[in-house]
Structure 1
Amino acid sequence: MGTTNESLPFFTQFIRFRAKYSDLPTFTFFVVANSIVSAYLVLSLALSISHIVNGGAKKSRVVLIFFDTGMLALLTAGASAAAAIVYLAHKGNTRTNWFAICQQFNSFCERISGSLIGSFGAVVVLILLILLSAATLSRR
């Protein structure tokens, strides 16, 4: 999403329409939310590996599940907000004169749709990770 950029000529080569992710604050929130969640998961990986090596530390596992759930909420919020804008980009809204821009900006819409699919895939994986962690913690 962070590298989406497309411009189209309008009448001449000197006047161009452009579409970037940073033009819409919702997409900026989407990129920031995914960056925060990715950084958290990389940092929590070391703590998770130490939990696998050491059998103890039950309280820190509960804290990890708590923070994982918070990151799930942030990731879901970013993906849901971006999904609303992607829907408007594909379908438009005639009542408010918002036109469907995906008919003109094909590459832009393909990239934002692909990143949105990846983000919702990450939501599903994070849900499974939290459920697996909670089930493992409750067994001990």
Structure 2
Amino acid sequence: MDSGRSGDSTVITMPESKSTGKGKAPAVVLTTSKAAPPPPGRWKKGVAIFDFVLRLGAIGAALGATAAMGTTDQTLPFVTQFFQFQAEYDDFPVFVFFVIANAITSAYLVLSLPVAIVCIIRPHAAGPRLLLLICDTVITGLTIGAAAAAASIVYLAHYGNPSANWLAICQQYGDFCKGTSGAVVGSFIAAFILMCLIMLSGIALGRN
């Protein structure tokens, strides 16, 4: 009995029988085959597509936060001879920084879309993925810093600080506080999506 192995197939040939039977004993061929492995890089392409979709969501969140804060203002219905009670975002330097930072985040995310498309087309390319990882990390720090700074001012607007005799203003400027609070929430959502993008890039590079 001779056995040979070629690739994923095993062939076993039975020798001819010497008995006084009619004809010859047929050769017995046993073939075993393995399931074809999935094409390499398919999961990386899926990660790249998910990355692209997340970037679209982050753009919406960052743009929404920028627009909400940049258009927030409220004027109270009563005035005095010398004062008109009005609150605008540019009355607070922290809110101005918030608008600028989230506008930069939005612009960066839009500009990163072509690089994300390259990662979809060439999922094994490490250069574009590394570039996104570095830039995403920098932008995430900027977005979190702006959101945290604005959140501290929004907190003071809602609750004040009795120790420093800072009064809460949200009882008078309710619409202004709602607008700024919504903008801060949108910015934190954008920051969270950016952190997810960083993790995706790390996973893709770690298995490169």
TM over 0.5, shorter chain:
yes
Corresponding residue to 2:119 among 30, 33, 51: 51
Task: Give the 3-state SS of the residue equivalent to 2:170 in structure 1.
Answer: helix
Counterpart contact for 2:132–2:201, Cα < 8 Å: no
Partner residue of 2:203?
135
Cα distance between partner residues in 2 of 1:51 and 1:70: 20
* 1:5-61 deviations in Å (ceiling 9; x for gaps): 101144558842000000000000111110001100000111110121123431232
- Counterpart secondary structure, 2:111: helix
- 1:22 partner amino acid: D
Match runs of 1:104-123 below 5 Å? 104-123=172-191
Q: Quick one: which amino acid aligns to residue 21 of structure 1?
A: Y
Distance 2:72 2:153 in 1: 15
Query: Matches of 2:137 and 2:112 in 1, distance apart?
Result: 13
Work out whether residues 9 and 15 of structure 1, in 8 Å CA contact, stay in contact via their aligned partners in 2: no
Partner of 1:125: 193
| 1:40 equivalent in alignment to 2:98 | no
Length, aligned pairs only: 140
What SS does structure 2 have at the residue aligned with 1:6?
Answer: strand
Q: Does 1:93 align with 2:161?
A: yes
For the aligned residue pairs, the C-alpha RMSD in angstroms reads 1.6
Bigger share in helix: 1
Q: 1:11 to 1:17 in 2, by over 3 A?
A: closer
Question: Structure 1-normalised TM-score?
Answer: 0.93
Q: TM-score, normalized by length of structure 2? A: 0.64
Deviations 1:80-109 (A, max 9, x none): 000110010001112222110001000000
Matches of residues 3-14 of structure 1 in structure 2 within 5 Å? Answer: 3-10=71-78, 12=80
| Structure 2 unpaired stretches of 5+ | 1-68
Largest Rg, 1 or 2: 2
Cα offset, 1:138, TM superposition: 1.3
